[in-house]
A and B are shown apart, each in its own frame.
Chain A
């Protein structure tokens, strides 16, 4: 059974079409790569799933229900920007999340902070952009959410931090959680993907199993990406 069903979903900003009649079915326990160039509609789609934004038309069902306050309990969304309160320490951030999300695991959170070498007593305002990315990943992955969405988790960070983030994501994917990762860095995230969704100008250009793509078409996701988006 699909955990996330999207039917003919569209989103229009004033006169610009961000999503154009998208239909997708995502199941539990898989890692999906939402890939596409800037402005292709990746973030918009994630925000609609996270109930941060309303679609212009179409239907979306999360675990059989429309997005609502309740669906936020099972959807963990990590945006691209630093959205955490800057005046808080990392411990306070954990307490904030555990106050509001029943599925937030404080032990996991502290473990992740340790693995990522992030001091608990540090304030969010004192973090570098790489450290800030790690923290956002840690807060999101510490939830036992059914759907975990990471929007551009590898943006603007060095190779070592990138590897650390990818390792953290892989190590912390919970059983039956559906993970959706958006990124431009196709080659970096390809090894952890089960399925790839290539999106361009609000259209789904390709949606399929990564293994099948390799076996049947002899293409890696990166090659498929080049084929779809290349000039």
Chain B
């Protein structure tokens, strides 16, 4: 299995580099705004949000790319190579998960380094004090976390299930079972779009933030809408996942029992 992990990491080295660059670039984007505009432009409330959103997107993109990469050869022709090896399917599965975790930890470390750098650069400024005062009470951030966390969670869960199902059933087995999972996987695009729209809405509204209570009311409505959409999608996903899992398990049992 160690040999397989070695080759899995070897195969992914370019993508690891690519994702690291994406994370670094996305993480760096808000930094000039944070340094130059935090006090003069009245963006105090927006900057932490932007920083966190970009960092989360950085990690999110990285995690998704890696999780997909971890199972990509199960879909294509290379699955034959893996399953021809004298290694149990469990070990193939475990090696993929371990490699995925390694990659994710690697990306998280980079992100943590970035966060540390931000704190160091901005240490002692009013900006940091405002973040500290702002974060715990801010509904926008918690909503953002909730939305991003949800779709990340689903992407990872579905990818995990696909890898698991494909590993159990083997390469090129009856493909009927795979359709519901692909369906669920594709629907992941929807919450991503919704999340983007919701976040965009939050950001643009926040940019207009003033002392005006009407505007603050708009922000609250916007956040509320984002939360509601997120909540509905979560429920829909639960249903879809349940159906997908039910069909997959059914197919698996049918196959094993030859019925």
Contacts and interface: CB of A to CB of B under 8 A. Distances in A.
Interface of A: 13-14, 47, 50-54, 56-57, 69-70, 72-73, 77, 79, 81-85, 87, 96, 99-101
Given A47-B172, A52-B172, A79-B80, 10 more contacts: A52-B171, A69-B87, A72-B84, A72-B86, A79-B77, A83-B79, A83-B80, A85-B78, A87-B14, A96-B7
Contacts of A69: 86-88
B80 A53 contact: no
B170 to A, nearest CB: 7
Interface of B: 3, 7, 11, 14, 77-81, 83-88, 170-174, 176, 255, 258
A8 B228 CA distance: 58
B173 A53 contact: yes
Given A81-B77, A83-B77, A54 B86 contact: no
Nearest to A71: B86
A67 to B, nearest CB: 12
Contacts of A51: 83
A166 B247 CA distance: 46
Nearest to A47: B172
15 contacts: A13-B174, A14-B174, A50-B84, A52-B172, A54-B170, A56-B258, A70-B86, A72-B86, A73-B86, A77-B80, A77-B84, A81-B77, A83-B78, A100-B3, A100-B87
Contacts of A56: 258
A83 B84 CA distance: 11
A51 B80 CA distance: 10
A206 to B, nearest CB: 27
A137 B80 CA distance: 15
Contacts of B83: 51-52
Given A52-B171, A54-B173, A84 B81 contact: yes
B18 to A, nearest CB: 13
Nearest to A87: B11
Nearest to B89: A69
Contact of B258 (A57, A83, A87, A100): A57
Contacts of B81: 83-85
Closest 8 CB pairs of A and B: A72-B86, A83-B80, A81-B77, A83-B81, A83-B77, A100-B85, A73-B86, A99-B3
Contacts of A70: 86
Contacts of A53: 170-173
Contacts of B87: 69, 100
B170 A85 contact: no
B86 A100 contact: yes
Contacts of B170: 52-54
Nearest to A99: B3
A47 B86 CA distance: 15
B258 to A, nearest CB: 6
A101 B87 CA distance: 10
Contact of A52 (B3, B14, B84): B84
